[in-house]
Amino acid sequence: MIESWHIAVLLGGSSAEREVSLRSGAAVARALRSLGHQVGEVDPARPGWSLPIGTEVVFLALHGTYGEDGTVQRELEALGMPYTGCDPEASRVAFDKALTKQCCLAAGVPTEPFLVVDHPGAPWPAGWEAPVVLKPVRQGSSVGLQFVDRREQWAPALAEALRFDSAVLVEPRIFGRETTVAILDGQPLPVVEVRPREGAYDYQNKYTAGATEYLCPAPFGPAVTAAIQAAALGAYHAVGARDYARVDVMVRADGGPVVLEVNTLPGMTETSLFPKAAAAAGLGYAEVCHRMVALARARSRRAAVPAADRRDVKLGVTQ
C-alpha cells in the first residue's frame, strides 16, 4: 500500500505557458489523489502566495519563466521544502537555450553551432547561409519560434522572436525526423517520434488536437535508437539535470542525432510526450507522477518546515 503524503502541486503561474501548466497540474493532482495522497493545488500567479500548512513535498507542474528558470526552485530551497525535478542551477542552464548549447558542445554532445542576437536591427550573420531557425533564448513550448528560409525573411522573423525575450538563438535549420527522449531517474525511456501533419512542430501543432502524429516507440533500428538515447542522456548530464527531464533531438537522414534542447519540467497532461514514453515502457500515468514525487522525497529526508515557521513565509513571482 502506498504511503499517503501531503503534496502541493504548483500549476498555472504567469508565464506564456500558463494554460498548458494548468492542464499539466490538474492532471497530476488527479493522478496523485487517485493513489491516496493529500493534494493541494497552488497557482503562484500573484506575489505573496504560500504553501498549504502541512505540505511535505512540492510537485512542480509549472512551465516557462519562474517555474523552469530556477526561480521557484531557489525559493523552495530557502524553505527547506523538497520539490520535484532539477535544482536551481540546472533549471537556469536548461531554460537558457544558449547555455544549454554551450554545455552540450563542451561535453561533446552532438548539437549544431549557434549564435545569439539581441538587437532587432542586427544584420544577417556573416558567414551563415539560409535556412536558419530563430528561438527566444528563454522560452518554452516553441513560443516565438521562427523559420527563416530566405535572407529577406530575417528582419521580420527576428523582430517577432524578440517579442518574447531580449535575446534570440540562431542555429542552422536541420531537416530530418523530430524526436524526444524522456529520462526518468537517469534512465532513457522509449523514443517518441513527432510528425506534424502540416508544417513544423510549432506551438500551434503542439497544442491543436489531431495536428501531430506521435509514434512510440519510434520506428528506428536498434543502433539509431541507442544513438538518440545516448545523445539525450549526454545532454541531460551536461546541464546537470536530475530525477527527470525530456530532451528534444533531431535525427538526420544518416541516423545521426542532433540535440535541440532540454526540458526540465516537461508537459504532464495525460497526452503529453513524457507520459506517452512512460506508457511505452509499461509505466502508468499515476505511477510516473508518484515516482517523481518519491525521487524528491528520497533526495531530501528533511522534515517539512513546521507550520509555525512557515505561516509568514511569502513567495512571489518575479518576471
CATH 3.40.50.20 in the chain, residues? 6-85+285-310
In this prediction, residue 206 carries a pLDDT of: 57
What is the mean pLDDT of the segment spanning 15-30? 94
Q: Please list the active-site residues.
A: 17, 141, 207, 246, 248, 261, 263, 267
Q: What is the mean pLDDT of the chain?
A: 91
CB contact set of 228 (below 8 Å; sequence gap of 6+): 179, 181, 191, 218, 220, 249, 251, 257
C-alpha cell at 249: 533531438
Higher pLDDT, 174 or 200: 174
In this prediction, residue 48 carries a pLDDT of: 84
C-alpha span between 296 and 277 (Å, rounded): 21
In this prediction, residue 197 carries a pLDDT of: 79
Spacing of C-alpha 291 from chain mean position: 18
Q: Which of 16-20, 55-59, 260-264, 281-285 is predicted with the least confidence, judged by mean pLDDT?
A: 16-20
C-alpha cell at 230: 545516448
Q: Which CATH superfamily is domain 115-172 in?
A: ATP-grasp fold, A domain (3.30.1490.20)
In this predicted model, what pLDDT tens digit does every residue of 24-67 receive, in sequence order?
999 999 999 999 999 999 999 987 899 999 999 999 999 999 99
CATH 3.30.1490.20 in the chain, residues? 115-172
Closest CA to 104 of 241, 255, 259: 259
Asked if pLDDT for residue 188 goes beyond 80, the answer is: yes
Q: Which of 145-149, 205-209, 304-308 is predicted with the least confidence, judged by mean pLDDT?
A: 304-308
pLDDT category at 271 given cuts 50, 70, 90 is: confident
In this prediction, residue 203 carries a pLDDT of: 55
In this prediction, residue 103 carries a pLDDT of: 98
Q: Which fold has domain 6-85+285-310?
A: Rossmann fold (3.40.50)
Strand partners, 251: 177, 257
What is the mean pLDDT of the segment spanning 181-207? 81
pLDDT category at 303 given cuts 50, 70, 90 is: very low
pLDDT category at 143 given cuts 50, 70, 90 is: confident
What is the mean pLDDT of the segment spanning 133-139? 94
- Give me the CATH code for the 92-110+175-264 domain, please: 3.30.470.20
CATH 3.30.470.20 in the chain, residues? 92-110+175-264
Closest CA to 261 of 29, 98, 125: 98
In this predicted model, what pLDDT tens digit does every residue of 90-128 receive, in sequence order?
999 999 999 999 999 999 999 999 999 999 999 999 999
- Cβ–Cβ < 8 Å for 246, 274: yes
In this predicted model, what pLDDT tens digit does every residue of 214-254 receive, in sequence order?
999 999 999 999 999 999 999 999 999 999 999 999 999 99
